[in-house]
Amino acid sequence: SKHLLSRKNVENTLHSNKYALTTFKAGIIVGSGSSSFEIIRDLVEKLPFMIAPKWLNTKTQPIGVRDVLSFLSNAIGKKELFHKSYDIFGPEILTYKEMLLQFAKVRGLKRTIVTVPIMTPKLSSYWLYFVTSTSYKLASSLVNSMGIEIIGEKSAINSMLGVKPMNYKKAVELAFVKIEQNSIISSWKDSYISSGNLQNYIHKYINVPSYGCFKDFKQRKVINSENTVNKIWSIGGDNGWYYGTFLWKIRGYIDQFYGGTGLRRGRRSPTELLNGDALDFWRVIYADKEQQKLLLYAEMKLPGEAWLEFKIEEGILYQTATFRPKGVAGRLYWYLVTPLHWFVFKGMINKIIEI
C-alpha cells in the first residue's frame, strides 16, 4: 500500500554513508496519540454494535509505545546495530477485530462486531471518516494498509537489547493509566522544562486531545490584559466561576452524590495557581501567567474526560471546554448539558473580560 511504501521511503531517505542508521519497523503502536490507537479508541467508545469491513480479520502484531521507546533508547551507541534493520513487535498475533474486543474489555465496555465482505476500500474509508475523528486522507491510507497482514520477522533484537515486549491488553491498560493521570501533557512539559529546551515556547505545545472530542469554543477581544489574566488566575473557590454560580453548585452537589469531590476542595490561594493545584473539581495541568495560558483537567465524576482552557493570544481571549466521551453514555451526557454549557460558558467569558 502507499502508506506502507511511504515508511520504506523514509528509511531510504534517512540512509547515508556519512552516519550510521539503525531502523526499527513496527506495525500498530499502542499508545495515546498513535493514529491507529486513537481510531480503535473512537470505534470502541462510540459504537456498542459494529457492522465492520472484512479487513478487521487481518492479522497484525501490535506493540506498546513503552516497548518502542525501550528499543530506541537501548539501541543508542550500539555499533553492532549500525546499518541494520529490525522488525519490532509484541508477543501476540491478533486480528483488528480481536484488538477492538480486547480494548473494549479493558475499558469495561461490552461490544459486538459483525464483519461483512461487501465494503470496498472506499466505503471502508468513509466508514472510518464518519465514525471516528480521523481525516478522510488518513482513513484511506490506513484502510489500504490494514488489508495487508503485518507479521514481524523474528530476530535476536529482543535479547540483544534486553526488551521483553508486553502483550496488547497490558499495553492498552498502561496507555490508559497515563491518560487518566493526564501525565501525557505534564510529562511533555516536565521534559521540556527540565532540559531547558523550548522554555519560552512550551505553552504552544501543551494542548488537549482532539480525537473524538466535543468542544465548546468561545473567544472575545481583551480590553485590559492584566485585569483579564488576574481574573482567570482567581477563578473558582470562594471567588466562584463568575457566571451561573447556582449551576456550578448544583454540578458540585451531583458530583458529591456520585462519590466525587464536588466544589469543597476550593483552591490553595485566592489569587495564585500552580501546576498540580486542586481547583474545586478541577486539577491545574498547566499555569503560566507570563504566557497567559491556564489548562485545567476535570476530576469530577464524568462518563469521559474533560478539560477547560483559557489562553490569550494577540489580544484575544480563547476559552475552550473539551470533552472526550466514553461510550454512548458520554455522548448522551454531552448533548444533554450542551444548552447549559452555552449559557454558562458564554456568561463566564463575558465576565472575565469585563473591566
* CATH number of the CATH domain containing 329: 3.30.530.20
Query: How much is the pLDDT for 316?
Result: 96
Q: What mean pLDDT is predicted for residues 170-198?
A: 57
Domain limits for position 14: 2-180
Q: Are residues 39 and 167 in the same domain?
A: yes
* Assigned domain for 221 exists: yes
Residue 260 within a domain:
yes
Give the count of domains, the chain.
2
Does residue 187 form part of some domain? no
pLDDT digits (tens, 9 = 90+) for 42-57: 788 878 888 877 878 8
With respect to residue 192, please indicate whether it lies within any of the assigned structural domains.
no
Amino acid sitting at position 289? K
* pLDDT higher than 80, residue 135: no
Average pLDDT over residues 283-312: 91
Determine, yes or no, domain membership for 286.
yes
Read off the pTM. Answer: 0.59
Banded pLDDT at 155 (limits 50, 70, 90): very high
Residues 6 or more apart whose CB falls under 8 angstroms from that of 87 comprise 24, 25, 26, 152, 153, 154, 155
139 and 83 housed in the same domain:
yes
Average pLDDT, integer, range 240-265: 88
Do the domain assignments include residue 17? yes
From the CB of residue 202, how many other CB atoms can be counted at a distance below 10 Å? Answer: 19
Do 85 and 147 sit in the same domain of this protein? yes
Residue 306 in domain:
yes
Please report the pLDDT score of residue 218 as a whole number.
Answer: 96
- Output the pLDDT for position 51: 81
Q: What is the mean pLDDT of the chain?
A: 83
